[in-house]
Structure 1
């Protein structure tokens, strides 16, 4: 068994003395930013402490005091946290509106709470965050590190963030969850849900250097959990459980998985995972049912497997690869936008974790800040924009580079009776169609060619819906929009231009894929 390479544990600072009231902090910013996504957005939604009082805290005791000072356990409150929270400054506080403990941040028997890191940040050092019998909770922009279940000090059963016993509607966003080893070093899961924990979203977060990423269901009989959404998270140097999914439904999209050492998404005991447009790199057995003969299921689409190895199937080992295919379908009740898997590493590196400015993805391979200004994270020189600029029935002026000597065509799939080469033969009576309603078609050259404009000519206009133009050599998105026709973008030197059809009203029929330098 291959062990992860873990960094040394950080030291624990101990603050002398404890202040049992919530005090204002300098440079404290506004409350949680954005709205809950994924499954946390349904079942009534997740708003946390919105509409309630905002207080500041710089110790664990002050966090507990803020909870206990409310009129009731459901009175909305936002707690802005700055500094390092640890065992030395976290004591139990009692009151009618709270139920706290000294060895963890305890959100027990409460609802309508937001905990958000502000200023220079909030670090929970060797001290976990525990939710129990809690609902409508937001945790944003925090770091939780090196929480242990054995050794000293211990906290929260070794979970960085743990939820159990009738918990619902929780949004954890832009968090950094770190360990420095596996179970033998005293650590457990980074993000665990069990005993009727439902409607949870983990987004734009980092999970790193742990034996266990997290689980949904504490055993193969604990099946009343989920659904859960995981999107735009960065898993790195994790042995297994990204997540371990027992009997629950999970939507897992646009995550970046790097160095999963033993196994990754482990659907078992009837668990179902919808796995869309993720990027898996330098990892082993990233999807399947592992360490049990109780099967799980998956629906896969648009994922990239980069240097992924797969073990052989066995009685208690059913990897989805080396060529993962769907064995179930999962219906998603909320709207979402998918980044192409090719740009996921860059997008996630720019947005995930605490202290990253709460940037999010636009769903078009670029990022946006809370002030709504966008910043592309990959190589295109302009952000994706929408709409073609002219009719699909005519060709622009200039030389069609698709017909140049040495040009070729390929794609992701082709329907029976169609050919990739039909899009560059100058004949409008021949065409290419994908095997379904979505797919890629590319023009390629033997040497670098500068392109700034393409023209997609449909046999029947108006069938193609949303699209992306990609630099096929790098995967960078050059433009996004809807419909076919003439599409312009920043001049790009490449050996391949790809037109990706993301949605269509029927089966697309592309007669010609014309490319132009200007």
Structure 2
């Protein structure tokens, strides 16, 4: 049953919020029926980063409307997706007050909140001379936006001069397909493009452009601010920057498949005990692209498969320790998630085809080709709800050692359940794999890829570095699959949790485990598993 605009607004904003939304001209809210879109890299760890998935959707064309949407939520953690179009600047951004927000007039303030997605739509979203600031917040996604010419001195001022900044207990942030640009260095009034400090963890910056600034960004504001860690940078283009790509103080960061072009003074600056994992990047026409610079507090790095194209190196000194010209690892850095990098030689081309706002959210397929990213489906009306396209019946026993039976359509793929797909960012292995398939294909979020055993039966498993609660599995089959009977097994104990036939959803009493196995015991042909999704509830 359809509801009026006011009823839809009041359900989310409350009476005061309705008045504010009407006053500021916020378009009607809609229930979001999209599939969960989750981050990769370190942002996929610590429970994952899904932003406002599962929440309502608001459209905004001013900074005030963005703040109004945040302040009108029922609570500071009520999920919301804010679709932004047009230019956001000081002239249309004011402070908005409410119980579920803590905003400011001179920046887009995401403070003491969680479960928010800000995404550029339509003709695009540009934050002009106005930065985005995260403080004491978690589970935030920012996608498809341009942030430009944010100053820390001169006029106008915004966000301390940072395009995007995070500080003071920030967790699980994904910035994707963003363009962050300045028009000069510190002397011209600009600071960093992407800064993290004062206890920021589990962040991924992907498919973005950082350009024309004195400072790319830092992780840690001083030699004593070393509690910031677990940051991933991949498929980004860093161009015409003087330094800090990033400056890393303490903690662990992973850089892979980035294109670094015209780094004028220094590049990845690992210091104060930091550890940088540097895989399959392309460094071009640059100076001192990796090392410890401007300090005697040593940092460390592990390198593999990088290309150094016309890179120059300075001499070593007391406060200058470049990694080159003979670049070798001086530490070992463990990464808790699976990743498949493109070959370094194709990085300039694949990054040029995918990085930045307004590129259609294209991503790499891991084989040096651009492909469409998984994106949320169109929003539905407030009374709509996602429904499974495959039916399943499950009878689960109260004990972890007995089995359950399940039946589902072998050809239809169910809609994604609510919650975080725990397989994204996890590891995978198995008993065998057919030629051209991979275990990792079942947890890459790409239904076009799949795993098949070398025969009619076999095992594939999802693995986590720490015990993880699981109570539901969604088996998504690829075209032509002939999945027969299977068991879902607690890989840590060997206990059979459930059994069934065909693809679909199967539930069982929750278990805490480091490994969950799909054991295919019978098929008439070759089963093809596109996704093995796992959920806590």
TM bracket, shorter-chain basis: 0.5 to 0.7
* Match of residue 236 from structure 1: 239
Deviation at 1:249, TM superposition (A): 0.3
Q: Give the total of aligned pairs.
A: 360
SS of residue in 1 equivalent to 2:285: strand
Deviation at 1:74, TM superposition (A): 0.4
Could you tell me which runs of 5 or more consecutive residues in structure 2 were left unpaired when the two chains were aligned: 1-20, 376-432, 439-450, 453-537
* 1:346 maps onto 2:370 in alignment: no
Equivalences for residues 216-231 of structure 1 within 5 A: 216-231=219-234
Equivalences for residues 502-517 of structure 1 within 5 A: none
Deviations 1:16-36 (A, max 9, x none): xx985352399xx99799430
Equivalences for residues 352-367 of structure 1 within 5 A: 352-367=355-370
Contact 1:116-1:139 at 8 Å conserved across structures: yes
* Match of residue 308 from structure 1: 311
Pick one of 138, 144, 147 that aligns with 1:144.
147
* 1:153 maps onto 2:156 in alignment: yes
* Match of residue 331 from structure 2: 328
* Match of residue 194 from structure 1: 197
Equivalences for residues 25-174 of structure 1 within 5 A: 34-174=37-177
Question: Residues 270 and 466 of structure 1: is their aligned pair in 2 closer, same or farther, counting only changes over 3 Å?
Answer: farther
* Match of residue 382 from structure 1: none
CA distance in 1, matches of 2:127, 2:244: 22
CA distance in 2, matches of 1:25, 1:126: 28
Deviation at 1:370, TM superposition (A): 2.8
Which structure exhibits the higher relative contact order, with contacts defined as CA atoms closer than 8 Å and separated by 6 or more residues? 2
Contact 2:37-2:374 at 8 Å conserved across structures: no
* Match of residue 278 from structure 1: 281
CA distance in 2, matches of 1:306, 1:361: 22
Contact 1:130-1:156 at 8 Å conserved across structures: yes
Pick one of 177, 201, 206 that aligns with 1:203.
206
Deviations 1:261-297 (A, max 9, x none): 0000000000000000000000000000000000000
Deviations 1:307-348 (A, max 9, x none): 000000000000000011000011111111110000000000
SS of residue in 2 equivalent to 1:363: coil
Contact 1:272-1:297 at 8 Å conserved across structures: yes
* Match of residue 480 from structure 2: none
Contact 1:60-1:89 at 8 Å conserved across structures: yes
* Match of residue 269 from structure 2: 266
Deviation at 1:302, TM superposition (A): 0.2
Q: Which TM-score applies when normalising by structure 2? A: 0.65
Deviation at 1:248, TM superposition (A): 1.4
CA distance in 2, matches of 1:176, 1:286: 21
Question: Residues 132 and 154 of structure 1: is their aligned pair in 2 closer, same or farther, counting only changes over 3 Å?
Answer: same
Deviations 1:62-105 (A, max 9, x none): 00000000000000000000000000000000000000000000
Question: Residues 357 and 25 of structure 1: is their aligned pair in 2 closer, same or farther, counting only changes over 3 Å?
Answer: farther
Contact 2:182-2:213 at 8 Å conserved across structures: yes
Deviations 1:413-446 (A, max 9, x none): xxxxxxxxxxxxxxxxxxxxxxxxxxxxxxxxxx
Structure 1 runs of 4+ aligned residues shifted over 2 Å read: 18-26, 29-35, 464-467
SS of residue in 1 equivalent to 2:331: coil
Contact 1:189-1:214 at 8 Å conserved across structures: yes
Could you tell me which runs of 5 or more consecutive residues in structure 1 were left unpaired when the two chains were aligned: 1-17, 373-461, 468-480, 483-518
* Match of residue 492 from structure 1: none
Q: C-alpha root-mean-square deviation of aligned residues, in Å?
A: 2.4
* 1:182 maps onto 2:152 in alignment: no
Equivalences for residues 246-265 of structure 1 within 5 A: 246-265=249-268
CA distance in 1, matches of 2:211, 2:99: 37
